[in-house]
Copies of this chain bind each other. A is one copy, B any other.
């Protein structure tokens, strides 16, 4: 796949240099817009602005939408006013908003100057919604129908306005005050008699979201109900836009990425890794490292406290990393499983006792398995004193139980007090479990070895 792509890029560059425009045009017109966009982003800026003009109008706009902001910027700078207007005319409102959000202020001004007044109004409206809200990801281009239309009226309307709509497969029925009254799918329309009234075939029980709803909630609704589009209403239940499934997929992916980043103690960002500078990346990472580092010094304090015990039994020191790592890993397994379960809706607060009971049993099983393995290893390979082996293995079982219980409860409590459970993942759990495992270790060692 990758090699094939390289070949196509080489091929296109050659045709460009040989000035074979007709051939180039033929090849491009047969390609998917997403593939063309990827191809174009491999070209020099000079080549890009040139080859872009070979595309037919509609395809050109589709390719434009699929390019990274830096290439869009280069193209806009190269466009004449009429070229710019042509591209903007073909864009959907939500795509235009996405582009504008990434452009420098001077270009934004130029873009808004060349969009038609109605679209400019819609763009400005969407730009006003809070970041991460349903309003900020919706489009205002939907098909709206009235209750007293017939199916054939509806088709006429779709044929007349549909070309500019983001989807025509879900149509929305509104009253004279623009209040949302029902939905009709294109499938319903196609399978109904052409004289049927919309009011009779529409589904009046509509699931909708408010403009200020969190976009993650929107994405979860898509996943739960398998919708292709979801209506967005304002405070007075008036329809203001729709979110389509392709945007919901992007949100679901972003959400998963954010969760993963938080679990690794990184402040989430929506920028791709390679687009972020080192300083920006550093800013997302060091605050957490600092907090965790300071917390980890408590673990050091515990060791310092038991200094004399350690000097008597230096061998005990060498098992500290194994105990700490295993505790961290066990806690991490439990917390990450619970965090994902919470975020997918599989686990709720009311399940907390079920979860703890289950993790306790899993911990007991894991603890015994690891302790047996470790005891065998310590006796056969390390050939340590049997009492030392017993101390380490007892600590192991206790640490694993403590780690799993803490790992499963902290995310649930975090969620209950409206904190993000994803923060309660391995790094934090590890820091807590480290300290506890050492306390357990020295306590058991103190009793058993009479330190």
Q: Given A286-B366, A333-B285, A377-B294, A314 and B311 touching (CB < 8 A)? A: yes
Q: Are A162 and B186 in contact, CB atoms less than 8 angstroms apart?
A: no
Instruction: Tell me which residues from 289 to 307 in chain A have a Cβ below 8 Å from any Cβ of chain B.
Output: 289-290, 292-294, 296-297, 299-301, 303-304, 307
Instruction: Tell me which residues from 147 to 194 in chain A have a Cβ below 8 Å from any Cβ of chain B.
Output: 155, 158-159, 162-163, 168-169, 186-187, 190-191
Q: Are A285 and B205 in contact, CB atoms less than 8 angstroms apart?
A: no
* Chain B residues, Cβ within 8 Å of A290: 369-370, 373
Residue from B265, B314, B351, B438 within 8 A of A274 (CB atoms): B351
A113 in the interface, Cβ–Cβ < 8 Å? no
- Interface-facing stretch out of A42-50, A96-104, A132-140, A317-325: A317-325
Most chain B beta carbons < 10 A, residue from A328, A355, A361: A328
A216 in the interface, Cβ–Cβ < 8 Å? no
Instruction: Report the interface size class on chain A.
Output: 35 or more
Complex CA gap A340/B28 in Å reads 32
Residue from B222, B310, B311, B333 within 8 A of A249 (CB atoms): B222
A207 in the interface, Cβ–Cβ < 8 Å? yes
Contact with B along A333-351 (1 / 0, CB 8 A): 1011110110010111001
* Chain B residues, Cβ within 8 Å of A288: 329, 333
* Chain B residues, Cβ within 8 Å of A293: 322, 325-326, 370, 373-374
Complex CA gap A328/B307 in Å reads 25
Complex CA gap A248/B226 in Å reads 11
Complex CA gap A361/B377 in Å reads 41
Copies in the complex: 2
Q: Are B340 and A260 in contact, CB atoms less than 8 angstroms apart?
A: yes
Interface residues of A (CB under 8 A from B): 2, 30-32, 34, 155, 158-159, 162-163, 168-169, 186-187, 190-191, 205, 207, 222-226, 228, 245-246, 248-250, 252-253, 256-257, 259-261, 263-266, 272-274, 278-279, 281-282, 285-286, 288-290, 292-294, 296-297, 299-301, 303-304, 307, 310-311, 314-315, 317-322, 324-326, 328-330, 332-333, 335-338, 340-341, 344, 346-348, 351, 354-355, 358, 361-362, 365-366, 369-370, 373-374, 377, 425-427, 430-431, 434, 438
10 tightest Cβ-Cβ pairs between the two chains A and B:
A264-B336, A278-B361, A256-B256, A299-B321, A226-B246, A300-B318, A282-B365, A296-B322, A296-B325, A304-B318
